[in-house]
Amino acid sequence: MEMKITLSHKICLDPTYKQEQYFKQACGIARFTWNWALAEWNRQYETGLKPSAFALKKQFNAIKPIDFPWMYNVTKYASQQPFIYLQSAFNRFFQRLGAYPKFKKKGKHDSFYIGNDHIKLEEKLIKFPKLGWVRMREALRFSGKVISATVSRVANKWFVSLNIELDQTPKSCESQAGVGVDLGVKTLATLSNGETFEAPKPLKKFLSKLKRMQRSLSRREKGSQNRHKLRQKIANVHARITNLRQDSLHKLTCYLTDNFAGIVIEDLNVKGMLKNRKLSRAIADIGFYEFRRQLEYKYKCKGNYLLIADRWFPSSKTCSNCGQKKNELKLSERVYQCSACGHEIDRDLNAAINLKNLLFQSN
Ligand SMILES: [Zn+2]
């Protein structure tokens, strides 16, 4: 059986002032339409009717030319897709998979969907109807059919998330499955299928040895033979540590590229994490950059797909079972407990599953 892999690739946009106005307007229209439809749904329900998004859309389109003529300035998707989203939100609610749909707020819900018949891609450019070409920071990294795009704003930056159906599955992999990888502090890596990779044990031993040696180095007389010898010893320990780290990372990255077609990792906000000194030490030890570097050259050779999740993607805070997002999650909370569906799962495994799900998300 052939399985189609769908993934989304999020790219930062560089819109001009005029293009940004278009984006803001389209986001506003998408939000307005959603809120209109939800209010109308609630109203009809209260009067004893059984509302449907399809009927609401017809009703909306009948009054649109007179009541909302400004909506024609942007892609029609901005005022059509919200009905489809609303219906699936209610479907999830009826199946007890999601909360009751809420009204959207400016500054919190700034995005709009656009179908593939309304966009064009060319290297680092993307074309929108009634707007023209907008610059992208990078070209699309995957070859396949673009299904749709979602433009969104995060902290005053604009992004386009492109949904792609990959046109070929990698040859090197027997398993066509995708995997999410959560790099950890105590555990080197947790995979979305439940497998874990432990950090090499001798590393800790060498690190404390290194500390001791460096302390005694500072006490030795400058220019002395003893000091020179110790310097060389320190260099050797450094090399051992680097080798150990490299070795375990090679094992991990080989395992990933040999066994999984699609790999999703996190674009860690390392700067933010370095504030926590204890944690930063561990992260440096694990060598996140080295991990990413190895994966990036191996996946190209072996033909996997590598997806790097956006650094704002809440992989740890989201419930991998129902999609509910927590506002706060302490580092000490090792078990994720969902207040919405009651799901309990290891924190790292939860994050890895959320990353993996990015490969198959539909919007
Ligand atoms: Zn849940």
Based on the domain organization, do 126 and 202 belong to the same domain?
no
Based on the domain organization, do 198 and 258 belong to the same domain?
yes
Q: What is the pLDDT of residue 281?
A: 61
Which token pair is 143? 């070859």
| Residue 278: pLDDT band with limits 50, 70, 90 | low
Contacts from 326-331 at CB under 8 Å and sequence distance 24+? 331/276, 331/279
Residue 137 in domain: yes
Kind of pairing, strands 111-115 and 125-128? unpaired
pTM of the model as a whole = 0.53
Residue 13 in domain: yes
Q: Among the three residues 132, 166, 200, which one is the final residue of a domain in this structure?
A: 166
Structure-model confidence comparison of residues 284 and 303, the more confident one: 303
Based on the domain organization, do 80 and 155 belong to the same domain?
yes
Which token pair is 19? 């293009």
| Residue 23: pLDDT band with limits 50, 70, 90 | very high
Residue 318 in domain: yes
Q: What is the pLDDT of residue 111?
A: 95
Based on the domain organization, do 269 and 291 belong to the same domain?
yes
Q: Exactly one of 266, 267, 290, 310 is catalytic; which is it? A: 266
Q: How far apart are CA 331 and CA 335, in angstroms?
A: 10
Residue 27 in domain: yes
Q: Is the CB of residue 351 less than 8 Å from the CB of residue 315?
A: yes
Residue 269 in domain: yes
**Which residues on adjacent β-strands are paired with residue 345?**
336
- Secondary structure of 304-320 in HEC code, one letter for each residue: CEEEEECCCCCCCCECC
Q: How far apart are CA 219 and CA 226, in angstroms?
A: 11
Based on the domain organization, do 274 and 202 belong to the same domain?
yes
Tell me which DSSP letter residue 280 carries: H
Based on the domain organization, do 47 and 192 belong to the same domain?
no
Q: In angstroms, what is the span from residue 320 Cα to ligand 1's centroid? A: 7
Q: What is the pLDDT of residue 233?
A: 87
| Residue 186: pLDDT band with limits 50, 70, 90 | low
Structure-model confidence comparison of residues 62 and 177, the more confident one: 62
Residue 48 in domain: yes
Q: Among the three residues 166, 200, 215, which one is the final residue of a domain in this structure?
A: 166
Q: Exactly one of 110, 182, 285, 310 is catalytic; which is it? A: 182
Q: What is the pLDDT of residue 286?
A: 59
Q: How far apart are CA 58 and CA 65, in angstroms?
A: 13
Based on the domain organization, do 35 and 116 belong to the same domain?
yes
- CA quadruple 341, 343, 348, 351: dihedral sign: negative
Q: In angstroms, what is the span from residue 98 Cα to ligand 1's centroid? A: 9
Q: Give the model confidence (pLDDT) of 125-174 as tens digits.
A: 999 988 999 999 888 877 788 999 999 998 788 999 888 877 655 444 44
Q: Is the CB of residue 113 less than 8 Å from the CB of residue 147?
A: no
Q: In angstroms, what is the span from residue 280 Cα to ligand 1's centroid? A: 30
Q: In angstroms, what is the span from residue 91 Cα to ligand 1's centroid? A: 17
Which token pair is 256? 């990933």
Mean pLDDT of the chain: 85
Phi, psi of 152 (to 5 degrees): -145, 160
Q: Exactly one of 110, 285, 310, 348 is catalytic; which is it? A: 348
pLDDT at 76 over 60: yes
Q: How far from 5 is each of 2, 38, 67, 120, CA to CA, in Å? A: 9, 33, 42, 21
Look up 266 and say whether it is catalytic: yes
Q: What is the pLDDT of residue 332?
A: 81
Residue 327 in domain: yes
Based on the domain organization, do 182 and 325 belong to the same domain?
yes
Q: Among the three residues 166, 190, 205, which one is the final residue of a domain in this structure?
A: 166
Q: In 3-state terms, what secondary structure has residue 322?
A: coil
Based on the domain organization, do 222 and 338 belong to the same domain?
yes
Based on the domain organization, do 153 and 231 belong to the same domain?
no
Q: In angstroms, what is the span from residue 164 Cα to ligand 1's centroid? A: 27
Domain of 290 in residue numbering reads as 178-357
Q: What residues contact residue 14 under an 8 Å CB cut-off, 6+ apart?
A: 134, 135, 136, 137
Q: Give the model confidence (pLDDT) of 241-269 as tens digits.
A: 777 777 888 889 988 988 888 899 987 65
Look up 182 and say whether it is catalytic: yes
Residue 173 in domain: no
Q: Give the model confidence (pLDDT) of 319-357 as tens digits.
A: 999 989 999 888 788 899 999 998 999 999 999 999 998
Based on the domain organization, do 143 and 209 belong to the same domain?
no
Based on the domain organization, do 161 and 231 belong to the same domain?
no
Q: In angstroms, what is the span from residue 90 Cα to ligand 1's centroid? A: 17
Look up 167 and say whether it is catalytic: no
Q: In angstroms, what is the span from residue 34 Cα to ligand 1's centroid? A: 24
Q: Give the model confidence (pLDDT) of 187-228 as tens digits.
A: 778 899 888 887 776 677 777 888 888 888 888 888 888 888
Q: How far from 222 is each of 161, 209, 227, 238, 250, CA to CA, in Å? A: 57, 21, 7, 21, 39
Q: In angstroms, what is the span from residue 358 Cα to ligand 1's centroid? A: 17
Q: How many domains does the chain have?
A: 2
Q: In angstroms, what is the span from residue 325 Cα to ligand 1's centroid? A: 8
